Amino acid sequence: MKEKLKKVINDSLSKLDITVSDIVIEVPKDSSNGDYSSNIAMQLARTLKKNPREIATMIKDNIDEEFITKIEIAGPGFLNFFVKNDYLFDNINKVLEQGDNYGSSNIGNGIKVNLEYVSANPTGFLHIGHARGAAYGDSLANIMRFAGYDVTREYYINDAGNQINNLEKSIIVRYHNLCGIDEELGENSYHGEDIIEVARDIYNEYADSAPNDIFRKKGVDFLLKKIKSDLSDFRIHFDKWSSETDLYKNKEVDNVLSKLKESGNTYMSDNALYLKTSLYGDEKDRVLVKSDHNNTYLLPDIAYHLNKYSRGYDKLIDVLGADHHGYINRLKAAITMMGEDSSKLEVKILQMVRLLKNGEEIKLSKRTGKTLTLNDLLSEVGVDAARYFFSSRSLDTQLDFDMELATKKSNENPVYYVGYAHARIYSILNEYNKETSGSDYKTLSSEHAINLLTKIYEFSEVVKSSALKEQPHLITNYVYELAQSFHSFYAHEKVLTDDTNYTSDRINLIKATKITIKNALKLIGVDAPDKM
């Protein structure tokens, strides 16, 4: 309907020889202000140098559509549209016919997108910061695919560099401790229980004669296996796993370094090799190779992104932690230096998660081992609550995760509230257990029925908006509002009655509601329960 109204307004404006590229149509919060509203008159006021209400009148006078019952001009110049409910009734049958595909579209038009997220170093178990990025990335991939994009989910394994060196040293110290050697962890060591577990596995296999070259491989393999297992439990699966070590083996890092030197974009200073990123918008030049001849993280990361570019994606999306905010400009500068279009790369920065339990914040530190792992969180609150809560806020805002609220079996808990709506409908349909036939749905005339019908109808637009804006939380907000509309409808109207036509209309309405709730929850990785 929004697209239909945009066309109607555009047609009216064309009669006035006015062209507008972007017309905004919204659903008013107060139904007395119409079914849909547009601020187009105010948007054109400066261009046309006319009073917005005068412009609104001009637009209104050029609209004569049968499906529009009334147009009101409100406030400073809002156009409020009242439309026939036939489109809402028609949509019930559309939902029932399309089922699992209801809400899908082809706005992505097969655009190839590489979506990289999590990519945690295999130096410890995943914690809730990683979980937020995982939930966001996976939900966004679901939504974009549902909207017609060709999405590849990718995980980049940082299995080279100083952090892996520190991992190896940490495992060796813990292994020596098990061998009876009194040795302390260094300043940059990892202290977690996971490191002790790796060391214990090595000791159980080799006793006190483990070969020197085993610690690094055993550590990475053990922790990566655990990461994959935990992600699977969190319903996160990747299409591709890329390795930093492979970039070195395939000489991709060496090739990038050679090309950057040949391009004249590097120079030596204090025995270190610098990249002239300041010439491309970065605040200062960055070190590529340190004075000790070790590469910085930037160099293999440039090679990795060029590898992704070479695979023919139309768009690259990286989901990175809050500590990477200053990293974006230097990476884009390097990509430009290598002759690629850096505008294809979009970096999403996820803000921190504040975990609350019993009213107190749980501090996180992977290095000291004082952290709540993803596995711990799932054990306490479950996958559905975790996925829902992580998808409930925009990625660029801090998230307070209340573990007590997430486990409450009451309407205070949003995931319970939404799940209960689906379970309640399932129970009603189980009780009815009869075939229904299509109708004109004219018995669905109450305010509560129309509100529910309208909310179901909005789903397709919400999916499109969520995909285009790359904001999964729009789906989470939507499904909660849909559950609200259903609960309100059910509180005011009886579904099962002796009137066959009346009951049949409502059965089809709640069937459509159930399908829409399930489809929305599936996009954010949450199961729709049949029982509560």
87-106: pLDDT as tens digits: 899 999 999 999 999 999 99
Report residue 309 as tokens: 């570019």
Place 325 in a pLDDT band, splitting at 50, 70 and 90: confident
Q: Is 69 helix (H, G, I), strand (E, B) or coil?
A: strand
Tell me which residue has tokens 């590469």: 295
Domain made up of 117-247+351-407: CATH architecture: 3-Layer(aba) Sandwich (3.40)
Domain residue limits, the chain? 2-84, 97-107+410-523, 117-247+351-407
Average pLDDT over residues 304-321: 96
Q: Give the separation between CA 446 and CA 89, rounded to whole angstroms.
A: 13
CA 193, 199, 202, 206 dihedral sign is negative
Share of residues in the chain with pLDDT > 70 (%): 98
The DSSP output letter for 308 is: H
- On the question of pLDDT at 370 being above 70, the answer is no
Nearest C-alpha neighbor of 188 from the set 221, 165, 215: 165
Nearest C-alpha neighbor of 111 from the set 270, 276, 317, 271: 317
Report residue 180 as tokens: 């009876």
Q: Rg of the Cα trace of the chain? A: 28
- On the question of pLDDT at 366 being above 50, the answer is no
pLDDT digits (tens, 9 = 90+) for 433-453: 888 876 789 899 999 999 999
- On the question of pLDDT at 368 being above 60, the answer is no
pLDDT of residue 251: 97
Share of residues in the chain with pLDDT > 90 (%): 73
pLDDT of residue 365: 52
Q: What is the mean pLDDT of the chain?
A: 92
Report residue 114 as tokens: 């590489």
Place 369 in a pLDDT band, splitting at 50, 70 and 90: very low
Contact 444, 505 (CB under 8 A): yes
Q: Give the separation between CA 25 and CA 484, rounded to whole angstroms.
A: 23
CATH of 97-107+410-523, one of 1.10.150.110, 1.10.760.10, 3.40.50.2300, 1.10.730.10: 1.10.730.10
Beta bridge partners of 370: 365
Q: Give the separation between CA 120 and CA 231, rounded to whole angstroms.
A: 11
Domain made up of 2-84: CATH architecture: 2-Layer Sandwich (3.30)
Q: Give the separation between CA 312 and CA 31, rounded to whole angstroms.
A: 47
Cα–Cα distances in angstroms (integers) from residue 494 to residues 211, 429, 483, 498, in the given order:
73, 13, 17, 11
pLDDT of residue 341: 96
pLDDT digits (tens, 9 = 90+) for 144-196: 999 999 999 999 999 998 889 999 999 999 999 999 999 988 888 888 888 99
Decide: pTM greater than 0.85.
yes
Place 326 in a pLDDT band, splitting at 50, 70 and 90: confident
